Amino acid sequence: MQDTPWWKSAVIYQIYPRSFYDSNGDGIGDLKGIVLKLDYLAELGIDAIWLSPVYRSPQDDNGYDISDYQDIDPIFGNLTDMDALIAEAAKRGIRIIMDLVLNHTSDEHPWFVEAKKSRKNPYHDYYVWRDGDENTLPNDLKSAFCGSAWEWVPECGQYYLHQFSVKQPDLNWENPKVRKEIYQMIQWWVDRGVGGFRLDVIDLIGKEPDTGVMAEGKMLHPYLKEMSSAVFQQKELVTVGEAWSATPQRAFLYSSPDGSELSMVFQFEHIVLDQQPGGEKWDLAPLPFAKFKEIFTKWQTSLYQKGWNSLFLNNHDLPRAVSRFGDDGEYREKSAKMLALMLHGMQGTPYIYQGEELGMTNVRYELSDYRDIELLNMYRERKEKGYSEQEIMDSIYAKGRDNARTPMQWSGEPNAGFTEGTPWIRVNPNYGSINAEEELQDPDSVFHFYQKLIQLRKTIPVLIDGKFEPVLSEHPDIFAYTRTDEKSCLLVICNFTGREVRYDLAEVWEDGELLLSNEENGFAQGLLRPYEANMVIKRKEGVS
Ligand code: GLC
Ligand code: CA
pLDDT band at 73; cut points 50, 70, 90: very high
Closest CA to 36 of 71, 84, 79, 2: 84
pLDDT band at 272; cut points 50, 70, 90: confident
pLDDT at residue 421 is higher than 70: yes
The pLDDT of residue 285: 80
Strands 12-15 and 48-51 come out as: parallel
Compute CA distances 142 → 1, 137, 150, 151, 171, whole Å: 47, 11, 8, 11, 17
Q: What type of residue is 185? A: M
Shortest-distance Cα residue to atom 2 of ligand 1: 200
Reported as a single tens digit per residue, the pLDDT across 393-409 is: 999 999 999 999 999 99
The pLDDT of residue 449: 98
Is the distance from the beta carbon of residue 61 to the nearest atom of ligand 1 less than 6 Å?
yes
The whole-number average pLDDT for the span 283-292 is 88
Give the number of whichever ligand sits closest to the CA of residue 204: 1
pLDDT band at 273; cut points 50, 70, 90: low
How far apart CA 54 and CA 66 sit, in angstroms, is 9
Distance 522 CA to ligand 1 centre (A): 42
The H or E element that residue 12 is part of is: strand 12-15
The whole-number average pLDDT for the span 512-526 is 96
Active-site residue flag, 200: yes
Angle at 536 between CA 532 and CA 541, to 5 degrees: 165
pLDDT band at 79; cut points 50, 70, 90: very high
Reported as a single tens digit per residue, the pLDDT across 114-152 is: 999 999 999 999 999 999 899 999 999 999 998 999 999
How far apart CA 462 and CA 346 sit, in angstroms, is 10
Give the number of whichever ligand sits closest to the CA of residue 170: 1
Closest CA to 20 of 355, 411, 399, 465: 355
The pLDDT of residue 543: 62
Distance 248 CA to ligand 1 centre (A): 22
How far apart CA 64 and CA 30 sit, in angstroms, is 16
pLDDT band at 378; cut points 50, 70, 90: very high
**What is the number of other CB atoms lying within 10 angstroms of the CB of residue 391?**
11
Q: Do 97 and 195 touch, CB atoms closer than 8 A?
A: yes
Q: 65, 73, 200, 532: which one is catalytic?
A: 200
The pLDDT of residue 442: 98
Distance 122 CA to ligand 1 centre (A): 28
Strands 238-242 and 196-199 come out as: parallel
Shortest-distance Cα residue to atom 12 of ligand 1: 64
Q: Hey, what long-range contacts does 515-523 have (CB within 8 A, 24 or more apart)?
A: 515/456, 515/460, 515/490, 516/341, 516/449, 516/452, 516/453, 516/456, 518/334, 518/337, 518/338, 518/341, 518/449
Of 276-285, 295-304, 419-428, where does mean pLDDT reach its minimum? Answer: 276-285
Distance 250 CA to ligand 1 centre (A): 21
pTM of the predicted protein model: 0.97
Is the distance from the beta carbon of residue 64 to the nearest atom of ligand 1 less than 6 Å?
yes
How far apart CA 201 and CA 259 sit, in angstroms, is 20
pLDDT at residue 277 is higher than 60: no
pLDDT at residue 287 is higher than 90: no
pLDDT at residue 525 is higher than 50: yes
pLDDT band at 278; cut points 50, 70, 90: low
Distance 270 CA to ligand 1 centre (A): 18
Q: For residue 509, report the phi and psi dihedrals to the nearest 5 degrees.
A: -115, -10
Residues 6+ apart with CB under 8 A from 228: 239, 259, 260, 261, 262
The pLDDT of residue 107: 98
Distance 64 CA to ligand 1 centre (A): 6
Is the distance from the beta carbon of residue 200 to the nearest atom of ligand 1 less than 6 Å?
yes
Per DSSP, what are the bridge partners of residue 152? 159
Closest CA to 356 of 330, 326, 394: 326
The pLDDT of residue 39: 98
pLDDT at residue 45 is higher than 70: yes
What is the share, in percent, of the chain residues with pLDDT greater than 70?
A: 97
Average pLDDT value over all residues in the chain:
96
Distance 351 CA to ligand 1 centre (A): 17
pLDDT band at 67; cut points 50, 70, 90: very high
Residue 44 Cα to chain centre, angstroms: 19
pLDDT at residue 1 is higher than 50: no
Is the distance from the beta carbon of residue 65 to the nearest atom of ligand 1 less than 6 Å?
no
- Best probe residue, ligand 1, of 164, 166, 265, 268 (max atoms within 8 Å of C-beta): 164
The pLDDT of residue 469: 98
Residue 298: strand, helix, or coil: helix
The pLDDT of residue 542: 66
- Best probe residue, ligand 1, of 64, 99, 163, 375 (max atoms within 8 Å of C-beta): 64
Q: Hey, what long-range contacts does 473-479 have (CB within 8 A, 24 or more apart)?
A: 473/293, 473/297, 475/501, 475/503, 476/289, 476/290, 477/289, 477/501, 478/503, 478/528, 479/289, 479/292, 479/293, 479/296, 479/342
Reported as a single tens digit per residue, the pLDDT across 12-34 is: 999 999 999 999 999 999 999 99
Reported as a single tens digit per residue, the pLDDT across 435-456 is: 999 999 999 999 999 999 999 9
The H or E element that residue 481 is part of is: strand 478-484
Is the distance from the beta carbon of residue 317 to the nearest atom of ligand 1 less than 6 Å?
yes
Side-chain-side CA neighbours of 188 within 13 Å: the count stands at: 12
- Best probe residue, ligand 1, of 19, 104, 145, 200 (max atoms within 8 Å of C-beta): 200
The pLDDT of residue 103: 98
The pLDDT of residue 286: 80
Give the number of whichever ligand sits closest to the CA of residue 243: 1
How far apart CA 112 and CA 66 sit, in angstroms, is 11
Nearest-atom number in ligand 1 for the CA of 61 is 10
Q: 22, 60, 107, 242: which one is catalytic?
A: 242
Compute CA distances 333 → 84, 327, 372, 403, 431, whole Å: 35, 9, 28, 18, 14
pLDDT at residue 276 is higher than 60: no
Side-chain-side CA neighbours of 252 within 13 Å: the count stands at: 7
User: In 45-101, which ranges are continuous DSSP H helix?
Assistant: 79-91
pLDDT band at 293; cut points 50, 70, 90: very high
pLDDT band at 2; cut points 50, 70, 90: very low
Reported as a single tens digit per residue, the pLDDT across 298-350 is: 999 999 999 999 999 999 999 999 999 999 999 999 999 999 999 999 999 99
